[in-house]
C-alpha cells in the first residue's frame, strides 16, 4: 500500500530526485498515452498525479493553444515539475489532492494521468469529484499497471524478497497494482461512462546510457519494493538481497539496456453528469 502520506513524504522525495530514471522506466509506455491524448479534443487539460511533469510538459508543448495544469500531492514533485516546465506559457503546476481540488480558472474538458490514479484512498469518491468539476462533455485518458504476474519487473523483485516483505496486502489497496482488475476499475469510476480498456505491453527500462546496470541499481535503490527492502531489512539480509538484486539486473542487461517486460491498461472514459 502506498498512501497519500507516503507521496507527500519520502516516496515523493525519492521520485522527485529520480525523475530522470523514472521517466526512462516509462519511456516505452509514455508514447502510447500521448498518442491517445492527442486524439482527444480539448481546451483545458488537467494531469492528475502529474509527478515531475513529463507528460504535462509534452502535452503543453504539443498543443500550445491548450491550457495544461498538472496536479500532484507531493511538494517535491511539484517543485521538480515547476523547474522543468519553467517558461512554457500554457503550462502550470499546482500542489493539490485531485480528489478534492477544482481548477479556479475553469472546468477541464480532458483529464489525463500516467499511472497516477491508483493511489486514491477512496477511488469512487475521487472519480465522482473529478466528474463533477469537469465540463459536461469531459473525457478521461489514463494508464495503470495490469496484474503483477504480467509485469516481470514486479514479480522478479518480489521473488527476491523474504516472505514477510513479499506478503501482499489487499489487491485493491492504494498502490501500483490497485487498478489491475478492469471490473474493479469500472466500479470505482463513479460519474464516468463508456469506459474502455486497451492492453498495452511495453518494456520497463530500468537502466540505459553509459552504465545501464548501475542506473538500474540506482533506480531500484530508491524506487519501489526493492527500495523499501533496502531501508528496512536487517543489515545481513539487506546485503544478501542486494546481491540477488544485482544478479537479477545483470540477467536483464541485453548489452544496451536493462529491461523487463511490463503491461498496462490504457483507459478512456466520458463524463456522465447524470450521475453527478
66-107 pLDDT tens trace: 999 999 999 999 999 999 999 999 999 999 999 999 998 899
What pLDDT sits at residue 81?
A: 97
In a domain, 186, yes or no: yes
- Rg, C-alpha atoms of the chain: 18
Helix (H) or strand (E) holding 250: helix 235-251
- Local confidence band at 273 (pLDDT 50, 70, 90 cut-offs): confident
Which residues, at least 6 apart from 138, have a Cβ–Cβ distance to it below 8 Å?
A: 107, 108, 109, 110, 111, 131, 270, 271
Which residues, at least 6 apart from 250, have a Cβ–Cβ distance to it below 8 Å?
A: 213
Strand partners, 264: 145, 200
Which residues, at least 6 apart from 231, have a Cβ–Cβ distance to it below 8 Å?
A: none
154-199 pLDDT tens trace: 999 989 887 654 445 566 788 889 999 999 999 999 999 999 999 9
Domain harbouring 181, CATH code = 3.40.50.150
In a domain, 127, yes or no: yes
Domain hosting 9: range is 4-148+170-205+262-275
In a domain, 164, yes or no: no
CB atoms within 10 A of CB 87: 5
18-74 pLDDT tens trace: 999 999 999 999 999 999 999 999 999 999 999 999 999 999 999 999 999 999 999
Lowest mean pLDDT among 97-101, 180-184, 230-234, 266-270: 230-234
Residue with the bigger pLDDT between 12 and 271: it is 271
pLDDT at 11 over 80: no
Which residues, at least 6 apart from 10, have a Cβ–Cβ distance to it below 8 Å?
A: none
What pLDDT sits at residue 109?
A: 96
In a domain, 257, yes or no: no
Query: What's the domain count of the chain?
Result: 1
CB atoms within 10 A of CB 98: 24
In a domain, 248, yes or no: no
CB atoms within 10 A of CB 60: 23
In a domain, 213, yes or no: no
In a domain, 237, yes or no: no
Report how far apart, in Å, the C-alpha atoms of 93 and of each of 8, 46, 225, 265 are. 16, 9, 28, 25
Which residues, at least 6 apart from 247, have a Cβ–Cβ distance to it below 8 Å?
A: none
Amino acid at each position: 500500500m502506498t498512501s497519500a502520506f507516503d507521496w507527500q513524504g519520502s516516496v515523493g522525495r525519492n521520485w522527485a530526485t529520480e525523475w530522470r530514471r523514472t521517466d526512462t522506466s516509462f519511456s516505452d509506455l509514455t508514447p502510447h498515452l500521448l498518442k491517445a491524448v492527442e486524439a482527444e479534443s480539448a481546451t483545458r487539460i488537467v494531469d492528475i498525479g502529474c509527478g515531475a511533469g513529463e507528460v504535462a510538459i509534452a502535452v503543453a508543448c504539443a498543443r500550445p493553444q491548450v491550457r495544461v495544469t498538472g496536479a500532484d500531492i507531493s511538494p517535491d514533485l511539484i517543485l521538480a515539475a515547476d523547474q522543468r516546465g519553467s517558461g512554457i506559457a500554457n503550462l502550470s503546476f499546482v500542489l493539490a489532492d485531485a480528489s478534492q481540488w477544482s481548477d479556479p480558472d475553469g472546468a477541464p474538458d480532458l483529464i489525463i494521468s500516467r499511472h497516477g490514479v491508483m493511489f486514491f484512498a477512496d477511488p469512487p469518491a475521487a472519480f465522482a469529484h473529478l466528474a463533477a468539476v469537469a465540463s459536461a462533455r469531459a473525457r478521461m485518458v489514463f494508464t495503470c499497471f495490469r496484474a503483477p504476474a504480467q509485469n516481470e519487473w514486479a514479480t522478479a523483485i518480489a521473488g527476491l524478497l523474504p516472505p514477510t516483505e513479499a506478503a501482499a496486502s489487499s489487491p485493491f489497496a492504494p498502490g501500483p497494482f490497485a487498478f489491475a482488475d478492469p471490473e474493479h476499475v469500472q466500479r470505482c469510476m463513479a460519474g464516468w461512462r463508456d469506459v474502455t480498456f486497451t492492453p498495452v505491453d511495453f518494456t520497463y527500462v530500468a537502466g540505459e546510457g553509459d552504465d545501464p546496470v548501475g542506473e538500474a541499481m540506482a533506480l531500484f535503490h530508491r524506487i519501489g519494493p526493492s527500495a523499501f527492502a533496502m531501508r528496512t531489512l536487517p543489515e545481513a539480509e539487506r546485503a544478501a538481497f542486494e546481491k540477488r538484486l544485482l544478479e537479477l539486473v545483470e540477467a536483464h542487461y541485453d548489452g544496451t539496456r536493462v529491461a523487463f517486460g511490463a503491461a498496462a491498461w490504457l483507459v478512456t472514459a466520458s463524463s456522465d453528469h447524470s450521475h453527478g
